[in-house]
Chain A
Amino acid sequence: QSALTQPASVSGSPGQSITISCTGTSRDVGAYNYVSWYQQHLGKAPKLMIYDVTKRPSGVSDRFSGSKSGNTASLTISGLQAEDEADYYCSSYTSSSTPWVFGGGTKLAVL
């Protein structure tokens, strides 16, 4: 069982917006602004999409945005495109004995 809780799947049509949630606790997501999001296409390595809750690395489309409220972080993808179809994982720094925790992943389907 993953430390952070994500929905198993979400879907949307091209051009729509979707949001993926990532729920943790007051020891991880709620305690630090150190949530990051990773995109993983089938058979590929994860790719950083969002870091420090809201920041986008150079080269990542501005259609991707992050936010946080309390113990829940969210990744929003606007203007969905077929190439966005992938698995998405959240991660957070934590004050527990294991400094990094991941979510179980969310499969995004672009219908």
Chain B
Amino acid sequence: QVQLVQSGAEVKKPGASVKVSCKASGYTFTNYDINWVRQATGQGLEWMGWMNPYSGNTGYVEKFQGRVTMTRDTSISTAYMELSRLTSDDTAVYYCARIRSGTYWFDPWGQGTLVTVS
């Protein structure tokens, strides 16, 4: 079945960087964009950006420009999201989610990765 499996929880110090992985299975990795969405504890969902695994093209929310990098390794069907210069405000669960170009919904989502900055 279609599945996105993310890497485990991380604890980072302020100023450090974190890299979260998202391994896809059950479909052709390069046929769907991977988006990243984060959720601070008790808060709503916040869209961060997208990456096209075929071309490597990316698009980021302005507030994360310069701090976020989304990449992929097509040989292992894995997407990555790296966030640098972490602050306590970046403490959140980070989700990857699949979306097909030309469609407008996210399905499925990864299980989430808790990043704690402390």
B44 contact from A2, A36, A93, A100, Cβ within 8 A: A2
Chain B count of residues within 8 A CB distance of the other chain: 21
Q: Select from chain B the residue with minimum beta-carbon distance to A103.
A: B44
Residue among A91, A93, A101, A104 with max Cβ neighbours from chain B (10 Å): A91
Q: Which residues of B contact A99 (CB under 8 A)?
A: 59
User: Does A24 sit at the interface, judged by CB under 8 A?
Assistant: no
Knowing A89-B44, A100-B47, A102-B45 are in contact, say whether A34-B104 is a contact too (CB < 8 A): yes
Cβ–Cβ < 8 Å partners of B62 in chain A: 97-98
- Contact at B111–A89, with CB atoms within 8 Å? no
Q: Once the chains are docked, how many angstroms separate the CA of A15 from the CA of B104? A: 31
A70 interfacial contact with B, CB 8 Å: no
How far is A93 from B106 in the complex, measured between Cα atoms in Å?
11
Q: Please tell me if A52 contacts chain B, counting CB pairs below 8 Å.
A: yes
Task: Determine if A48 and B47 form an interchain contact, defined as CB atoms under 8 angstroms apart.
Answer: no
Tell me if A14 counts as interface (CB < 8 A to partner B). Answer: no
Answer whether A98 and B109 are a contact pair too, CB < 8 Å, given A45-B95, A46-B95, A105-B44. no
Chain B residues with CB under 8 Å of A93's CB are 104
- A51 interfacial by beta-carbon distance below 8 Å: yes
Expressed in whole angstroms, the Cα–Cα distance for A99 and B110 within the complex equals 20
15 contacts between A and B (CB under 8 A): A34-B105, A45-B110, A46-B45, A46-B106, A47-B108, A51-B104, A51-B105, A51-B107, A91-B105, A98-B61, A100-B47, A102-B46, A103-B44, A104-B44, A105-B44
Residues of B that sit less than 8 Å from A by CB: 35, 37, 44-47, 59, 61-62, 95, 97, 103-112
Q: Report, nearest first, the 4 A-B pairs whose CB atoms are least far apart.
A: A34-B104, A51-B105, A48-B107, A36-B105
